[in-house]
Amino acid sequence: MNAYLILEDGTVFEGSSIGSTRETISEIVFNTSMTGYLEVLTDPSYAGQAVTMTYPLIGNYGICHKDMESLKAWPDGYIVRELSRVPSNFRSDDTIQNFLKDNDIPGICGIDTRALTKILREKGTMNGMITTDENYSLNEVIPRIKAFKATKVVEKVTCKEKSVLCGEGKKVALMDFGAKNNIARSLNKRGCEVTTYPARTSAEEILKSNPDGIMLTNGPGDPKECVEIIEEIKKLYNSNVPIFAICLGHQLMALATGADTHKLKYGHRGANHPVKDLQTGRVYISSQNHGYVVDEGTLDANVVIPAFVNVNDKTNEGLEYIGKNIFTVQFHPEACAGPQDTAYLFDRFINMMEVK
What does pLDDT average to over the chain?
Answer: 97
Supply the CATH classification number for the domain 2-150.
3.50.30.20
- pLDDT on residue 353: 96
Which tens digit of pLDDT belongs to each residue from 102-127? 999 999 999 999 999 999 999 999 99
Question: In this structure, what are the phi and psi dihedrals at residue 100, rounded to the nearest 5 degrees?
Answer: -65, -40
Q: Which residues belong to the annotated binding site for L-glutamine?
A: 45, 219, 221, 248, 251, 289, 291-292
Same fold for the pair 2-150 and 154-355: no
Question: Pick the catalytic residue: 247, 250, 273, 336?
Answer: 247
Which tens digit of pLDDT belongs to each residue from 135-188? 999 999 999 999 999 999 999 999 999 999 999 999 999 999 999 999 999 999
- pLDDT on residue 189: 96
Q: 154-355 falls under which CATH superfamily?
A: Class I glutamine amidotransferase (GATase) domain (3.40.50.880)
Which tens digit of pLDDT belongs to each residue from 214-237? 999 999 999 999 999 999 999 999
The structural domains of the chain, with segments of one domain joined by +, span 2-150, 154-355
Question: Pick the catalytic residue: 8, 193, 317, 334?
Answer: 334
- pLDDT on residue 356: 72
Determine the average pLDDT of the residues in 23-48.
97
Which tens digit of pLDDT belongs to each residue from 286-316? 999 999 999 999 999 999 999 999 999 999 9
Determine the average pLDDT of the residues in 61-68.
97
334 is catalytic: yes
Do 31 and 63 contact (CB within 8 A), yes or no? no
- pLDDT on residue 338: 87
Bond before 73 cis per omega within 30 degrees: no
Q: Which residues belong to the annotated binding site?
A: 45, 219, 221, 248, 251, 289, 291-292
- Collapse the DSSP code of 146 into the 3-class scheme (helix H, G, I; strand E, B; otherwise coil) and give the result: helix
332 is catalytic: yes
Query: Is the pLDDT reported for residue 85 higher than 90?
Result: no
Dihedral over Cα of 67, 69, 73, 75: its sign: negative
Query: Is the pLDDT reported for residue 355 higher than 90?
Result: no
Question: Pick the catalytic residue: 250, 268, 290, 332?
Answer: 332
- pLDDT on residue 21: 96
